[in-house]
């Protein structure tokens, strides 16, 4: 089976990026099914950053390569139109997921009949004003829990279409991006939301990671290696920092229940690390990890090209389809974990979830979802026989 999946992998790209992206998509599925025991083993439990940072950085990386090439070949108008088309697809996907989410909430509210128990839950905006909520969702001003990554992606990608001409000048692009990031953080710039106070992910801040990804994707790997040379001591320091972060975070979260207290000033600093505005520490954390992975995982690593890595590589290559399917599947996973508990549900949700994600990637790669530009591989014999 792995071999046939492997045959669908598009060669000639940096498979590391696809692999890590596939992993990030899997983590996003896990983190979106609360109550999932695997959720205690994802990045967010040990680092300042989590799969979202990785996803946005690598989305920028992929966009830099794909639209950068289009920009060079066809000019701004064409490349921008292509980005706009992508934005449209993402928007429709988001609205579809919104409808699914709403139906799921309604269904589980009826199934669990939680009536008077959690009075506060009836305060959710959709229940209170459904018509208004629908409009606000279309305007992206209302984003229910767990439906906040796609709106971020949509806005960041739309901004990218505007600055495409800067793609040949990475210095300018980064400077513009950093300026906007600083302004968003210091001046509290944020798009409005219905509930009154900003988005869960402020796109004006989060665009920084995307821009860094674009620049990395466009850069010549050799030049990049010269710019950020490998240094064993620096790497040791980086690993030490990441380990210290993991210990510190867990001590602060779980220490008090065991009688260990973290000094207040340290905890105060930790609690200032916000996700909404993409705190600089989160940027540093994901970039340090990227640097370490880029070195330890050489582009030509044999196992990356082998069948066992193929499912994740393929998931990464078919990013959008897998992402949307992941969010959709996480709704089903949540329903399952809500209605039953125990080891077998956990195993079933995770096995079925991962299998479905891989299946989506396979189908998408096979009929050419994200890989339209390449000729679709021949249909399997049986399928060919079935078509008249």
Residues that bind another protein (CB under 8 A): 34-35, 39, 104-105, 108-109, 112-121, 123-125, 143-146, 195-198, 200, 252-253, 255-259, 261-262, 264, 267-271, 274-277, 334-335, 337-338, 341
Minimum separation from the CB atom of position 14 to another protein (A)? 32
| CB nearer another protein, residue 223 or residue 257 | 257
Q: Return the closest-CA partner of residue 59 out of 319, 285, 298.
A: 319
Say how far apart CA 97 and CA 115 lie, in whole Å: 25
Nearer CB in complex with another protein: 297/335: 335
Q: How far is the CB of 120 from another protein (least distance, A)?
A: 5
Q: How far is the CB of 249 from another protein (least distance, A)?
A: 9
Helix (H, G, I), strand (E, B) or coil at 231: coil
Which is closer to another protein, CB of 197 or CB of 382?
197
- How many Å apart are CA 277 and CA 201, to the nearest integer? 7
Q: Rank residues 128 and 243 by Cβ distance to another protein and give the closer one.
A: 128
Q: Nearest-CA neighbor of 164 among 223, 82, 93, 104?
A: 82
Q: Which long-range contacts (CB under 8 A, 24 or more apart) does 219-223 make?
A: 219/170, 221/299
Of 84 and 112, which CB lies nearer to another protein in the complex structure? 112
- As a residue count, the chain comes to 388
Query: What are residue 373's phi and psi, to 5 degrees?
Result: -70, -20
Write out the two tokens for 164: 């495409």
Question: Measured between alpha carbons, how far is 101 from 118 in angstroms, rounded to an integer?
Answer: 20
Count of helices and strands (H, E) across the chain: 17, 0
Q: How far is the CB of 264 from another protein (least distance, A)?
A: 6
Backbone torsion region of residue 146, taken as left when φ is above 0, otherwise alpha when ψ lies between -120 and 50, otherwise beta = left
Of 67 and 331, the one with the shorter C-beta distance to another protein is 331
Smallest separation, CB 122 to another protein (Å):
8
Task: Provide the 8-state DSSP code for 43.
Answer: G
Cβ burial of 297 (10 Å; 0-12, 13-18, 19+) is middle
Minimum Å gap between C-beta 365 and another protein is 31
Closer CB to another protein, 34 or 369, in the complex: 34
Output 92 or 340, the one with its CB closest to another protein: 340
* Shortest Å, Cβ 270 to another protein: 5
Closest approach of another protein to the CB of residue 143, in Å: 7
Listed in sequence order, the residues at least 6 apart from 255 whose beta carbon sits closer than 8 Å to its beta carbon are 261, 262
| CB-facing half-sphere around the CA of 164: CA atoms within 13 A | 25
């Amino acid at each position: 089976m792995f071999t046939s999946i492997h045959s669908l992998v598009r060669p000639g790209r940096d498979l590391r990026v696809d692999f890590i992206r596939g992993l990030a998509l899997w983590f996003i599925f896990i983190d979106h099914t609360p109550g999932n025991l695997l959720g205690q083993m994802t990045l967010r439990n040990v680092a300042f950053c989590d799969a979202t940072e990785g996803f946005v950085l690598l989305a920028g990386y992929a966009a830099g390569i794909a639209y950068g090439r289009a920009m060079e070949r066809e000019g701004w108008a064409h490349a921008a139109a292509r980005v706009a088309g992508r934005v449209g697809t993402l928007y429709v996907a988001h609205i579809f997921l919104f409808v699914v989410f709403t139906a799921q909430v309604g269904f589980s509210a009826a199934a669990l009949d939680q009536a008077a128990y959690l009075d506060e839950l009836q305060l959710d905006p959709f229940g209170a004003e459904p018509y208004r909520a629908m409009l606000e969702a279309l305007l992206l001003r209302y984003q229910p829990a767990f439906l906040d990554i796609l709106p971020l992606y949509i806005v960041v990608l739309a901004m990218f279409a505007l600055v495409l001409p800067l793609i040949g000048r990475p210095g300018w692009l980064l400077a513009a991006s950093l300026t906007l990031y600083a302004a968003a953080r210091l001046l509290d710039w944020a798009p409005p939301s219905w509930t009154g106070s900003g988005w869960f992910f402020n796109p004006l801040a989060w665009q920084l990671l995307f821009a860094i990804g674009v620049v990395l994707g466009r850069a010549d790997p050799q030049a990049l290696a010269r710019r950020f040379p490998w240094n064993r001591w620096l790497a040791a320091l980086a690993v030490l920092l990441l380990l210290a972060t993991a210990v510190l975070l867990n001590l602060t979260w779980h220490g008090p229940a065991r009688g260990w207290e973290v000094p207040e000033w340290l905890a105060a600093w930790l609690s200032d690390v916000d996700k909404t505005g993409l705190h600089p520490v989160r940027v540093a954390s994901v970039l340090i990890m990227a640097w370490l992975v880029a070195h330890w995982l050489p582009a030509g690593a044999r196992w990356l090209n082998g069948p066992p890595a193929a499912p994740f590589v393929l998931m990464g290559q078919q990013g959008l389809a897998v992402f949307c399917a992941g969010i959709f599947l996480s709704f089903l996973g949540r329903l399952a974990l809500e209605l039953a508990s125990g080891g077998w549900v956990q195993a079933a949700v995770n096995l079925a979830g991962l299998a479905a994600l891989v299946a989506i990637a396979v189908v998408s790669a096979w009929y050419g979802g994200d890989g339209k530009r390449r000729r679709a591989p021949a249909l399997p014999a049986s399928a060919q026989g079935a078509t008249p």
